[in-house]
Amino acid sequence: AQSVAQPEDQVNVAEGNPLTVKCTYSVSGNPYLFWYVQYPNRGLQFLLKYITGDNLVKGSYGFEAEFNKSQTSFHLKKPSALVSDSALYFCAVRDPNDYKLSFGAGTTVTVRA
């Protein structure tokens, strides 16, 4: 079974500081990994995905994620956080054989001015 874990319920950073949201995965075979962001009472917005290729994936709104096979991690990063980045972030994994997504528990990011 495919699964992801987000070890932090909350991440708090000051505006302008680097932001990291952690995710580890457990899969059989090659992982298909995703990051989504959710604003209050909204659906999910796609940020980026890793299927294959370069370990550093660049996505929307200045976010990037690094795939680390040895540590089975896929941490989301942003060099300089904005107050508007405050939201709920989900890591997800997809079974390569179908398109079902399994989501992590989510991490609430708060960026203070």
Partner 1 sequence: GAVVSQHPSRVICKSGTSVKIECRSLDFQATTMFWYRQFPKQSLMLMATSNEGSKATYEQGVEKDKFLINHASLTLSTLTVTSAHPEDSSFYICSARVEGYEQYFGPGTRLTVT
In the block, residue with structure tokens 């457990």: 26
Single out the residue of 1, 28, 29, 43 in contact with partner 1 (rule: CB under 8 A): 43
Q: Does 104 bind partner 1 (CB under 8 A)?
A: yes
Residue 31 CB burial class (10 angstroms; 0-12, 13-18, ≥19): buried
CA 28 to chain centre: 20
Q: Does 84 bind partner 1 (CB under 8 A)?
A: no
Give the residue among 85, 95, 77, 74 at the shortest CA–CA distance from 37: 85
Candidates 11-19, 39-47, 59-67, 70-78 — which segment interacts with partner 1 by CB under 8 A? 39-47
Q: Which residues pair with 11 in a beta bridge?
A: 109
Single out the residue of 2, 13, 74, 106 in contact with partner 1 (rule: CB under 8 A): 106
Nearer to partner 1, 72 or 108 (CB): 108
Candidates 12-20, 65-73, 77-85, 95-103 — which segment interacts with partner 1 by CB under 8 A? 95-103
